[in-house]
Structure 1
Amino acid sequence: MKTAPIPHNRPQITDADQAAVASVLDSGWLAQGPRTLALEETFSNLMGGGEACALSSGTAALFLALKGLDLQPREVVAVPTYACSALLNAIHMAGGTPLPVDVRGTDFCLDPERLEETAGTARLAIAVHTFGASAPISSLARGGRQIIEDCCQSLGGPQGHAGAAAVFSFYATKIVTGGQGGLVWDAKGQVADAARDYRQFDCRPTYRPRFNLQMTDIQAAMILSQLDRLDAIRQRRRETAAFYDAAASELWNTGWRRQQGIDHAGHLPYRYVLVAPDWTQRKALAAAFAKAGISTIVPMETHELLHRYLGLPPETCPVAEDLSTRTLSLPLYPALTCEEVKRISAVLESFK
């Protein structure tokens, strides 16, 4: 009998998730309401205090974090080039000027040395905790620079507390999902309060430009349900990554490696990314997985690098350029069955 294909991403929707959404539908209150408020309170408790503001997307959270930190027109904001284009979109929406900076080849996070060389005078930077690894916030914040921690790929890890604000995403492929949705959090509450003021666009006693970036209670209910099992999600992802590590042990002796940092204490791995010796071997491994009915992806194609999108020369970010030609991401999510994990591991073990 032919085995079913294994997709690179697949959400885990439980009976509890469906019941949580059904409860909202039965209540008749579908828009932003009591479940959204409960999510904000739950998230603040998860972070050990502070204030949270739930929003329509992770991009909206980035946009409002920038506004909350008083981004000035055309002000430069440093960003890692090995990151989602949502960073560029949020900065442009807020009126700033994005400046892509190269990353470290070990954990794929923003390189503090390159930041000083490329954007040393920048007051603001967005640091992505790439695929669950921790960006070096203290080094990036040198000289009083304010850092927005992009935790869209690291929810459930220790990140988010060291910067001026932290943003999260609940998109369909993220660690916890509502289909869409985002959130901004900060310890002092000033950024979250500013975001909440902007989000509440209607029925205000005075007018200033605002916009409807609200989350629905349908989304909030699903997110809350999944947050209830965050510890189990973390544990399952870590166990699966460890299983792959063991299966790939022979690859480490032939020039292959994987992204560092996702196995550090308390961290939650979002992706399992291998770095091939060269692009031909990456292509060969991807083909081996495809033959086995297993989907893999190149996590960041060369044309997707942010400096490429802005028309900057390739030589400005050589590490990211190299990573884009040699990285391959394997399926890593709690919805994988034990049998599927064994199938993926079998390909790693047999690849020569």
Structure 2
Amino acid sequence: MPVPLLDLGRQYQTLRDDIRVRLDGVIENQAFIMGKPVQELEEAVAAHLGVPHAIGVASGTDALLLPLKALDLQPGDEVVAPPFTFFATAGAIHNAGGRAVFADIDPGTFNVDPEKVEAAITPRTRAIVPVHLFGQMADMARLREIADRHGVFLLEDAAQAIGARQQVDGEWITTGTLGDACAFSFFPSKNLGGFGDGGMIVARDDEFAARLKRLRVHGGLKMYHHEEVGTNSRLDALQAAVLLAKLPHLNGWSEARRRNAAWYDARFAPLEAAGKLTRPVVLPGNESIFNQYTLRVQNRDGLKDHLAGLGIGAAVYYPLAMHQQPCFAYLGYAEGDFPVSEQACREVISIPIYPELTADEREQVAAAIEEFCA
């Protein structure tokens, strides 16, 4: 039987009645733009994460873009980010008027290497954007220290990591609590996903949060009065209603993903010992939400074709690093500048990890990978 990379239909069936009641409420009320569910979701997410401000926006991309625009970047201002990430990270830096400066990643976690970040900082650096890739937080304590010492803004890209946790000084902290701001995505494939695009920014500073709220509604909170030029980036009330139905289940879903990951880890340990593949690395003091379970395999494309032939879903996140994208050629980077990221692009493959994955399906996936590695 086929095993999809992700099956959102199974999740929907468990929440169908609650979601439909909430959607009907929005439809009956007809307050589709900035309606009550948006405010309720903002308050619920802020409470869930333990942060003072949560601001709903139209997409995860806008959740990155608006904080960067609020920094009023000038020509030549630099923003440090990893090259191994989804395009929106670097795209938002460019569209906010900044110049992306890349820092290579740690080969185990795929997250940005703080020492490489430190080396990339110049007098023109205005911000650092660490990406919590595949559901595990970057080294936030070290990055916070670097940002503070250099006086730069720290914007977390947690599009794939809502609710991931990390121990800092013996205490568990979650995404959005150490950065000056943090961006989340509610794209349907995320652990907390809507029925379309949506995103949220969390911020610690009151004035910065107030400015973000203005920027998402054309630069003014009072109708037809605009303190600055903003944009239209409002989270739909229909999306907020869906997300309100899902949020109470988020921790349970993430725990189910961790159980699936632990099962894979045990099953693939002999293959790693034999040098056939490399399992995901979760560092001590970290709790990943496993938005993806990503292996390293030297013949990655061969494995992907093998799985596809058996009807098993797999995906490559990501086949090209940002400095290899034609649109960023103007930055002047060359092949070999970020060897760890480039190697990851050649080797990574993500396999099914979603909470509703059955034991039989897990067995199919593992057996297919063992067959290929043999």
Question: Cα deviation per residue 1:206-258 (whole Å; 9 max; x = unaligned)?
Answer: 45312111011000011111111012111111111112112212211122212
SS at match of 2:130: strand
Tell me if structure 2 keeps the 8 A contact 1:132–1:262: no
Give the Cα separation in 2 of the matches to 1:291 and 1:221: 39
Give the Cα separation in 2 of the matches to 1:232 and 1:55: 25
1:181 aligns with 2:201: no
Of 262, 269, 274, the match for 1:242: 262
Correspondence for 1:97:
99
How has the CA–CA distance of structure 1 residues 313 and 24 changed in structure 2, closer, same or farther, with 3 Å as cutoff? same
Deviation at 1:120, TM superposition (A): 4.3
How has the CA–CA distance of structure 1 residues 246 and 19 changed in structure 2, closer, same or farther, with 3 Å as cutoff? farther
Deviates more, 1:189-198 or 1:104-113: 189-198
1:323 aligns with 2:320: no
Deviation at 1:292, TM superposition (A): 2.1
Correspondence for 1:58:
60
Stretches of structure 2 lacking an aligned partner (at least 5 in a row): 166-174
Correspondence for 1:117:
119
SS at match of 2:137: coil
Of 180, 185, 191, the match for 1:169: 185
Give the Cα separation in 1 of the matches to 2:48 and 2:70: 22
Give the Cα separation in 2 of the matches to 1:8 and 1:295: 4
Alignment of 1:298-313 (within 5 A): 298-302=316-320, 305-309=321-325, 310-311=328-329, 312-313=333-334
Deviation at 1:274, TM superposition (A): 0.5
How has the CA–CA distance of structure 1 residues 28 and 222 changed in structure 2, closer, same or farther, with 3 Å as cutoff? same
Correspondence for 2:237:
217
Deviates more, 1:196-205 or 1:236-245: 196-205
Deviation at 1:94, TM superposition (A): 1.3
Give the Cα separation in 2 of the matches to 1:286 and 1:210: 43
Correspondence for 1:108:
110
Correspondence for 1:253:
273
Tell me if structure 2 keeps the 8 A contact 1:185–1:191: no
Correspondence for 1:88:
90
Of 135, 140, 146, the match for 1:137: 140
Correspondence for 1:10:
7
Question: Cα deviation per residue 1:11-69 (whole Å; 9 max; x = unaligned)?
Answer: 23221233322332232222221000001111111121311110000111111111234
* Runs ≥4 residues deviating over 6 A: none
Tell me if structure 2 keeps the 8 A contact 1:20–1:221: yes
SS at match of 1:31: coil
Give the Cα separation in 1 of the matches to 2:226 and 2:205: 25
Code of the aligned partner of 1:7: P
Correspondence for 2:169:
none
Deviation at 1:71, TM superposition (A): 3.0
Tell me if structure 2 keeps the 8 A contact 1:243–1:345: no
Tell me if structure 2 keeps the 8 A contact 1:273–1:328: yes
Deviation at 1:103, TM superposition (A): 0.9
How has the CA–CA distance of structure 1 residues 28 and 206 changed in structure 2, closer, same or farther, with 3 Å as cutoff? closer
Code of the aligned partner of 1:124: A
1:71 aligns with 2:63: no
Stretches of structure 1 lacking an aligned partner (at least 5 in a row): none
SS at match of 2:106: coil
Deviates more, 1:199-208 or 1:103-112: 199-208
Question: Cα deviation per residue 1:66-102 (whole Å; 9 max; x = unaligned)?
Answer: 1234433431001100011112221122111111221
Code of the aligned partner of 2:133: T
Give the Cα separation in 1 of the matches to 2:239 and 2:110: 31
